[in-house]
Amino acid sequence: MKKALFAQAGEMKVVDAKKPTIEKADDVIIKVVRTCVCGSDLWAYRGFDQKEADSENTGHEAIGIVEEVGDDITTVKPGDFVIAPFTHGCGHCAACRAGFDGSCQDHADNFSDGVQAQYIRFQHGQWALVKIPGQPQDYSEGMLKSLLTLADVMATGYHAARVANVGAGDTVVVMGDGAVGLCAIIAAKMRGAKKIISTSRHADRQALAKEFGATDNVAERGDEGVAKIMALTNGAGADAVLECVGTDQSTETAMQVGRPGAIVGRVGLPHTPKQDMTTPFYKNTIVAGGPASVTTYDKAVLLKAVLDGEINPGKVFTKSFTLNDINDAYQAMADRQAIKSYIVMD
């Protein structure tokens, strides 16, 4: 089979590899139909994170067809069309029962990688996989794109809104204009937010943010950006801030633009080695968030919302590629020529 490897910073490559096989009783082998590149994949590609040369790709979002199941798998069978979340919750530990399957306590290997490949071995598949009605050919390409977002970015954006307790009539600020930030706008609107302030500096992303439900946009950064956001909230600050980037500046701004008692829902992978918590202390700021509860949200609300046409998060995919063009897919995102790159498998 063909799969992508991380060759070195700035270079992905496609190699021949052995097709994965069942190794444990709760494994599922999946033929990948669509996969993609995540913003988090770019940290190593752009040289910001250290990663070993010629190592596994960090891809972790896929939809596909079940090929084979281990002896303990009863929830899916060969031929089923499934979402393969980037998380592998068990469904029965304390974390999963509380709705935090992104932090499943049943096993240490809770996250996917290597899914930019023709076949994958999905571990702990009994509860985590989400069945999609029918088969891929039953859906338009646009619908397949939206279904693919349910493996990560739509669920991650929803997680930010859920842990920030976004509710009807709220004012919400969304830090970040990547796929997760844009999906967080969708989630905030789903949960009834009245004013949603996006923070994009790019015209195409501003337009999509507005289409998804943003009512205002602040492109400025630093003190000027904080001042403009505060002005849009009549000086009071937002009820919730959804931090979808993880950088120092984004995190610092998020802590400044909420009202006293606001919740900051953090889903951007933190790249802040340390953080001054004095300001949040005096503002009674609540900080929540972490890996998204993908399976929980997909089964409870997001899959139905996509199938019913209530939301169309697949619009975050603005360029399509084949697996052979995986380096171009990464580079398009690194150069901001694509919001999110979509990989059509052969």
Q: Which residues contact 244 (CB under 8 A, 6 or more apart)?
A: 156, 157, 160, 174, 175, 176, 178, 180, 181, 184, 250, 267, 268
* pLDDT given at position 271: 79
* pLDDT given at position 163: 98
* pLDDT given at position 107: 95
**3-state secondary structure string, the chain?**
CEEEEEEECCEEEEEECCCCCCCCCCCEEEEEEEEECCHHHHHHHCCCCCCCCCEECCCCCEEEEEEEECCCCCCCCCCCEEEECCECCCCCCHHHHCCCHHHCCCCCCCECCCCCECEEEECCHHHHCEEECCCHHHCCHHHHHHHHHCCCHHHHHHHHHHHCCCCCCCEEEEECCCHHHHHHHHHHHHCCCCEEEECCCCHHHHHHHHHHCCCEECCCCHHHHHHHHHHHCCCCCEEEEEECCCCHHHHHHHHHCEEEEEEEEECCCCCCCCCCCHHHHHCCCEEECCCCCHHHHHHHHHHHHHHCCCCCHHHHEEEEEEHHHHHHHHHHHHCCCCCEEEEECC
From first to last of its 346 residues, what are the pLDDT tens digits of the chain?
999 999 999 999 999 999 999 999 999 999 999 999 999 999 999 998 999 999 999 999 999 999 999 999 999 999 999 999 999 999 999 999 999 999 999 999 999 999 999 999 999 999 999 999 999 999 999 999 999 999 999 999 999 999 999 999 999 999 999 999 999 999 999 999 999 999 999 999 999 999 999 999 999 999 999 999 999 999 999 999 999 999 999 999 999 999 999 999 999 988 777 778 888 899 999 999 999 999 999 999 999 999 999 999 999 999 999 999 999 999 999 999 999 999 999 7
Domains and CATH numbers, the chain: 2-152+293-344 (3.90.180.10), 157-288 (3.40.50.720)
* pLDDT given at position 279: 84
* pLDDT given at position 170: 98
* pLDDT given at position 274: 79
Q: Are 184 and 244 in contact (CB under 8 A)?
A: yes
* pLDDT given at position 141: 98
